[in-house]
A and B are shown apart, each in its own frame.
Chain A
Amino acid sequence: MDAQFWTYLLVGVTFSLYIGIAIWSRAQSTKEFYIASGGIHPVLNGMATAADWMSAASFISMAGIISFLGYGGSQYLMGWTGGYVLLALCLAPYLRKFGKFTVPDFIGERYYSKNARTIALICAIFVSFTYVVGQMKGVGVAFSRFLEIPYDLGVIIGIGIVFFYAVLGGMKGITYTQVAQYCVLIFAFTVPAIFISLQATGNPIPQIGFGSKTTDGVYLLEKLNQLSVDLGFEKYTDINQTTLINVFFITAALMFGTAGLPHVIVRFFTVPKVRDARISAGWALLFISFLYTTAPAVAAFAKVNLINTVSNAQYSEVPQWFKNWENTGLLQFDDKNSDGVIQYVADEQVNELTIDRDIMVLANPEIANLPPWVIGLIVAGGLAAALSTAAGLLLVISTSISHDLLKKNINPNISEKGELWAARISIAVAVVAAGLAGLNPPGFVAEVVALAFGLAASSFFPAIILGIFDKRMNKEGALSGMIVGVVFTTIYIFYFKPQLGGPGLPQDYLFGISPEGIGTIGMIINFIVSLIVSRLTKPTPENIKELVESIRYPK
């Protein structure tokens, strides 16, 4: 039984599971559709949040990026986890007490303004849509690489599955499917990691194996540093002081962005009580940390294995997996000096091997000689990660349209039944639109993800924090802060991203901050503008002060 068989089997079984859950958990009302009636157990919500959060990028690409960046990859590890502390301490409990359906709901009511709601809903749709296209691309890639199904058909199968359970079950269906998807993806990620850690260091826990001695008595990281230096790279654990400020700002932008992303925030509307919202964020981060502390270990193990296998190896004697991955184009060997030996070094003039970073997770089982079912598991896990994130994002888009735009801004008299149908139709349209965009992904998809985090950090985060902690914050302050923050961040990113046609050059970066980190500055500007404008304009109305007072206390 080969890898192909196992892949079909595991993908088939997991997909049937998701469909089964969808049929079992159909939504009957808008409350069920938007927030699963607020009746999800905090531990289950923690799992669903973790699956919602960890995308195809976390599962497939992150370990590979760390593998090539070494210490520099830490910005993603800290950046994509630290935001949960902010969520648990500063946002989730109060938004749960507020107890509505969406982030634009909070912005609109707290700042007593339809315009604020409209700005918020445009930001929510934009952020979620750019993100979801990337997931669809991930689904297509996973199918085409492993099942020899054309990319387009892969995307269509992915759309079909998401369409089925998202349209039928809304938040309720999505939540229970995400719980199943979390289990699949975490199992798929940790099993190969445990095997590899055991092989390399004799310790089954990758987080510890990573800091242990290998079979020849040298610490793994020391060995990796030595190998890197020998090939002309920087030491793996060394810190490059010239980019440290940028690492600082990117980490911050990712953290504050996380805490401002609507598809994450809305998950905390689904639990019964304020105290559940707090602990649910704790469970979510615990479940996320299983993958996020394993990924850097996988990165180090895979790098050592890869270098040992390919560096100075005879091309005619490389293992079969090397040839397989060459066929997909993820590995490219160009024998520049025609000596039949693979030179993998830092110097680009001499280097003969080009490695796609995704290979570190995808080819890991083969590099480590693991049984074929592990390969099937990786594919099922990658698909679970992509589908779960896509579903959460699509729901945000659909509620923004049916609830915030239609019910709150256009037609407040719409019936409950009508709104539920509008929600179903808008999620159906969003799924299809995301799928079409995934079939023809604009080349800049990866680039706009920076924009998603930057926008979330520079628009939602300050508006929500000030809405809770500053009673004096009024409509004028919050609106001007959001507008200035978003405009600044967007212009900076477009100006300095050559992929988006920007003319800016890295040496002209403001304080050396790259577009990925500029959201932090946008956020600071938002805070300053909001505070100044609010102090110079009319005080907050009394009823809004009472609203703020009420969300601060659980009862």
Chain B
Amino acid sequence: MKEKYWRKNIFYLRILLTIWFICSFGFGILLAENLNEFYLGGFPLGFWFAQQGSIYIFVILIFIYVYLMNKLDKKHNLEE
């Protein structure tokens, strides 16, 4: 039972950290040049990801993880 909890936790980590990597190192750095051909209002898109978007996504990712783990704690009866 406990092992299932840990495996699920690792599963969440994999997904969320992949999004973390793609949005910052991917969209904000490696692909920024290509994305800069698109615009979000006055922002070239790659530039926006590097200076704004990635930070918003970081905040959202943490709150999603908190939500998922609180649910998982409850399901496995591991709430303090």
Q: Does B associate with A?
A: yes
Question: Residues on A close to B: CB < 8 A?
Answer: 66, 71, 73-74, 77-78, 81-82, 84-86, 88-90, 93, 207-208, 210-213, 219-222, 237-239, 241, 244, 247-248, 251-252, 273-275, 278-279, 281-282, 285-286, 289, 292-293, 296, 552-555
Q: Is A554 within 8 A of B62, CB to CB?
A: no
Q: Is B30 within 8 A of A77, CB to CB?
A: no
A275 with B70: in contact, given A211-B40, A248-B30, A555-B79 (CB under 8 Å)? Answer: yes
Q: List, in ascending order, chain B residues with CB within 8 A of A208's CB.
A: 41
Give a binary string over B38-74; 1 marks a CB under 8 Å from any A CB, 0 the rest.
0011111011101110111011011101100110010
Partner of B78, one of A71, A251, A554: A554
Q: CA of A220 to CA of B47 in the docked complex: distance in angstroms? A: 14
Q: Is A78 within 8 A of B54, CB to CB?
A: yes
Q: List, in ascending order, chain B residues with CB within 8 A of A278's CB.
A: 62, 65-66, 69
Q: CA of A286 to CA of B36 in the docked complex: distance in angstroms? A: 26
Q: List 29 A-B contacts (CB under 8 A).
A: A66-B51, A71-B32, A71-B50, A74-B29, A82-B20, A82-B58, A84-B62, A85-B58, A85-B62, A88-B66, A89-B17, A90-B13, A211-B40, A211-B42, A212-B42, A222-B42, A239-B33, A241-B33, A244-B33, A274-B80, A275-B73, A278-B69, A279-B63, A289-B55, A293-B55, A552-B9, A553-B2, A554-B80, A555-B80
A248 with B55: in contact, given A211-B41, A553-B5 (CB under 8 Å)? Answer: no
Q: CA of A90 to CA of B10 in the docked complex: distance in angstroms? A: 10
Q: List, in ascending order, chain B residues with CB within 8 A of A293's CB.
A: 51-52, 55-56
Q: List, in ascending order, chain B residues with CB within 8 A of A275's CB.
A: 66, 69-70, 73, 79-80
Closest to B12 in A: A89
Q: Is A220 within 8 A of B17, CB to CB?
A: no
Q: Is A88 within 8 A of B65, CB to CB?
A: yes
Q: List, in ascending order, chain B residues with CB within 8 A of A274's CB.
A: 80
Minimum CB–CB distance from A71 to chain B (whole Å) comes to: 6
Which of A78, A292, A555 lies at the interface centre, i.e. has the most chain B CB atoms within 10 A of its CB?
Answer: A78
Minimum CB–CB distance from B62 to chain A (whole Å) comes to: 4
A237 with B44: in contact, given A85-B61, A292-B55 (CB under 8 Å)? Answer: yes
Minimum CB–CB distance from B15 to chain A (whole Å) comes to: 11
Partner of B24, one of A71, A82, A90, A211: A82
Q: Is A554 within 8 A of B55, CB to CB?
A: no
Q: CA of A256 to CA of B32 in the docked complex: distance in angstroms? A: 22
Q: List, in ascending order, chain B residues with CB within 8 A of A78's CB.
A: 24, 28-29, 50, 54-55
Q: CA of A88 to CA of B41 in the docked complex: distance in angstroms? A: 32
Q: Is B59 within 8 A of A289, CB to CB?
A: yes
Which of A73, A88, A208 lies at the interface centre, i.e. has the most chain B CB atoms within 10 A of its CB?
Answer: A88
Q: List, in ascending order, chain A residues with CB within 8 A of B47's CB.
A: 71, 74, 221, 237, 239
Q: Is B65 within 8 A of A211, CB to CB?
A: no
Q: List, in ascending order, chain B residues with CB within 8 A of A88's CB.
A: 62, 65-66
A282 with B50: in contact, given A239-B36, A554-B78 (CB under 8 Å)? Answer: no
A289 with B66: in contact, given A222-B42, A248-B25, A251-B29 (CB under 8 Å)? Answer: no
Q: CA of A208 to CA of B56 in the docked complex: distance in angstroms? A: 13
Closest to A240 in B: B33
Q: Is A82 within 8 A of B56, CB to CB?
A: no
Q: List, in ascending order, chain B residues with CB within 8 A of A555's CB.
A: 77-80
Q: List, in ascending order, chain B residues with CB within 8 A of A211's CB.
A: 40-43, 48
Q: CA of A220 to CA of B8 in the docked complex: distance in angstroms? A: 46
Minimum CB–CB distance from A409 to chain B (whole Å) comes to: 32
Minimum CB–CB distance from B59 to chain A (whole Å) comes to: 5
Which of B2, B5, B40, B42 lies at the interface centre, i.e. has the most chain A CB atoms within 10 A of its CB?
Answer: B42
Minimum CB–CB distance from B5 to chain A (whole Å) comes to: 7
Q: CA of A282 to CA of B70 in the docked complex: distance in angstroms? A: 14
9 new A-B contacts at CB < 8 Å, known A78-B28, A239-B33, A251-B24? A71-B32, A74-B47, A78-B24, A86-B17, A213-B42, A237-B36, A251-B25, A275-B70, A553-B5
